[in-house]
Amino acid sequence: MKNLRLSKQMLISIGLITLIMMVAFISTYIYEGYLYEKQQALIGPTLPQESAGTSVDKAVGTAITTYLQTLDAEWSDQDCSLKHCPNSSKSLPGVPQERAMFTKYERSNVELRGKIISDTTGVPVSSFSLYSTKREQNGAITAIVNIMIVKCYSSKQPDSYSSATDTHKITLNPSTTHPDDYVVMEDQILDPIKFPLANSSRSLYTYDPDREPQCPTAI
Give me the CATH number covering residue 156.
3.10.450.50
Which of residues 138 and 217 earns the better pLDDT score?
A: 138
- Report the number of distinct structural domains present in the chain: 1
Q: Is the dihedral of CA 25, 30, 34, 40 positive or negative?
A: positive
Let me know if residue 20 belongs to a domain. Answer: no
Phi, psi of 150 (to 5 degrees): -110, 120
Let me know if residue 39 belongs to a domain. Answer: no
pLDDT at 99: 97
Which of residues 148 and 18 earns the better pLDDT score?
A: 148
Strand order in the sheet with 161-174: 182-189, 161-174, 141-152, 125-135, 205-207
- How does pLDDT run across 90-137, given as a tens digit for each residue? 999 999 999 999 999 999 999 987 765 454 557 889 999 999 999 999
- The b-or-e profile of 150-170 (16+ CB within 10 A means b, else e) is bbbbbbeeeeebeeeeebbbb
Let me know if residue 179 belongs to a domain. Answer: yes
Radius of gyration of the chain (CA): 27
DSSP state of 13: H
**Interatomic CA distance for residues 192 and 105, integer angstroms:** 16
pLDDT at 29: 64
pLDDT at residue 155 tops 60:
no
- The boundaries of the domain holding residue 159 are 54-207
- How does pLDDT run across 39-72, given as a tens digit for each residue? 444 467 899 999 999 999 999 999 999 999 999 9
Let me know if residue 33 belongs to a domain. Answer: no
Query: Which is nearest to 66 in space by CA: 219, 157, 218, 175?
Result: 175
